[in-house]
Amino acid sequence: MTYPVQLTLGPLVLPVHLLFEVLAYSVGYRFYQRQRARTLDPISDEHRLWIFVGCAAGALLGSRVLGLLEHPALLAHPPGGWLYYFTNKTIVGGLLGGLIGVELTKKLLGVTASSGDLMVYPILLGMCLGRLGCHFAGLTDGTFGTATALPWGIDFGDGTARHPTNLYEIGWLALLGAGIWLAERCRPLPAGWRFRFFMVGYLLFRLLVEFIKPTPAPSGWGLTAIQWACVAGLGYYGWLWISQQAATNLPSNAS
């Protein structure tokens, strides 16, 4: 296979990466609609719409900001000019930014029910399709890994066998989705826990896989910006779990 992969239709050359990105959004949304139609949703249609707006705004901002912080040395002299500030993005920033946007929107609306559980499987499916597009994009996408001598290393076009970290991610997402599904078959999860397991599993994977990516950590940081964001997200969910355990174990005030 020659990277980047492109489809040729007569005089048209279609980038496979873009096609898979569109497919990820469209198929993921259709899957979400099907999930919601088969589930008793405690959140009204109007509130769901506003939650989507908050999620999209937070995801867009978080994705762009964290993407820029990944290469702080380029902020003063962006490659390709000012468009660099609007095209750099990362999934971790999108997820965490979307989470903040959702929580702020729910607080304004007075919604206390979990809103993320319905989104987990559609997000997993969409991310797998998107990462497949990243893989086909080769070196132009920037999601490849460092050089490796392992037999499954892939030459993306520069003569160097590299870790196919985008394929690693697809494999991990499939395992994560299967694990959550099996856990729910053994014992129903409390509201919100499906989404929490997804976020913790994905953030932990990204924290570790970034060590075999060629993005260097900025001097004095120790970790890349994405890894620090993963640490912050994992810390949040750790704090959330501890707080809930403490609240559950409080002695009753009943006389």
Task: Respond yes or no on whether the N-terminal peptide bond of residue 251 is cis (omega within 30° of 0).
Answer: no
Strands 6-9 and 12-15: antiparallel
Give the predicted TM-score (pTM) of the model: 0.92
- Per DSSP, what are the bridge partners of residue 15? 6
176, two tokens:
């994560």
Residues 6+ apart with CB under 8 A from 133: 16, 17, 18, 19, 20, 21, 23, 24
pLDDT in tens, 174-216: 999 999 999 999 998 999 999 999 999 999 999 999 999 998 8
Provide the total of helices (H) and of strands (E) in the chain, helices listed first. 8, 4
**pLDDT tens digits, one per residue of 62-113:** 999 998 888 887 777 777 777 777 777 899 999 999 999 999 999 999 999 9
Alpha-carbon distances of 35 from 1, 23, 41, rounded to whole Å: 36, 18, 10
In 3D, which of 182, 154, 183, 149 has the Cα closest to residue 168? 154
